[in-house]
Amino acid sequence: MTLEQLVLAAGAGSFVFSLFLTPVVRGVARSRGFVDEPGPRKIHQWPVALGGGIAIFGAVFLPLAAALGVALSPGLVKSLAPGLAEHLAGAKLVAPKALAYLGGALVVFVLGLVDDARGLGPKIKLFVQLLVGLGLAASGIRLSSFLDRYGLAGEIVQVVVTVGWFVVVTNAFNLLDNMDGLAAGVGAASAGAFGVIALATGQLFIAFALFTLLGGALGFLAFNRPPATIFMGDAGSLTLGYHLAVLTILFTFYDGMHPLTVYFVPLLVLAVPLYDTASVILIRLRAGKPIMVGDTNHFSHRLVALGLSRAAAVGLIILLTCATGLSAILMYRTDVAGSVIAFVQTALALAVVAVLEVAGRRR
């Protein structure tokens, strides 16, 4: 089995794991009353089981923990997959970062699960996320490696940018989880795009993580598509956002030939959730409302207000994410001018969507 086949097999295994675990979690959640009740800001009309994030978390965390354990066992690797032996030295070098990554994933998952069960205030969740982000930065998981040459000032900027990116992306998926199938679909599309790029650039550990995330999200999506019979809750949305945030930080987008990909690729792949977050914050600020209090002004809600069904709005947003992801993938097949064109094309597409939204609301 080649390394690429191993990555794809991991994704398929995570899909099957999530596909079988999700209905089990749903049954337990219903029997114990762990459900999301209808409410003023909710679109469902009957109690829906929570806990779907458990299936997503397990489908990603368990394979990654197992892979790290195997990678740190030379004898086991040589007997199971001789082709992986040459990567053992690299695995040992990245082990501290991998452990920090898995530890942070566990903390964020527990944070979301507690919030689903008891309800935590946004300030508490933000505080824990900041601590996790600082812990990741302290472990060496940082953005903006080009700032290394600037000493202490460069390190401070690295930490600030890393924590900021982590908090924004993690919460972008938390905010995106407002309609059946939306967060899982966008998360799967984003993980798929990043995973293809990781495979193409030989970043196998990151590709492994992304394809397990893709499989876990798709397995859960089978039960979360409209009408959903189970919700992922904050345990799931924060998990999706966490992995995509951290893996983009770990990702090496710079290949020596296309320096713009450092900035463009993650922005393109995650353009839709970032657009949703930015636009809903702007709407709340204009209305004089607290930005951390939920409402029904998200991208999906606005599309429904324009006349789309909920399923059509979700499908449109997922298709738009696939389109931006394909643009990001093409960046590795073109020159700098092509990268600029792809980025501008994505920006214009979102601008068209924004103009149509404004026109529709005025009517």
SS3 sequence of 129-187: HHHHHHHHHHCCCCCCHHHHHHHHHHHHHHHHHHHHHHHHHHHHHHHHCCCCCHHHHHH
Alpha helices in 32-121 (DSSP H): 52-71, 74-80, 88-118
Q: Which residue has the tokens 């998990």?
A: 239
| In-domain check, residue 208 | yes
| In-domain check, residue 249 | yes
| In-domain check, residue 307 | no
| In-domain check, residue 293 | no
Residues spanned by the domain of 134: 3-256
Is the pTM for the entire model greater than 0.85?
yes
Instruction: Return the pLDDT at 259.
Output: 56
| In-domain check, residue 283 | no
CB 53 within 8 A of CB 232: yes
Which mean pLDDT values do the consecutive 10-residue runs of the chain (363 residues) have? 80 95 94 80 74 94 87 61 56 78 96 92 93 93 72 83 94 92 96 92 88 96 92 95 93 58 82 92 85 80 86 93 90 77 86 78 65
Whole-angstrom CA distances from 70 to 52, 162, 202, 206 are 28, 29, 19, 16
| In-domain check, residue 267 | no
How many independent structural domains does the chain possess?
1
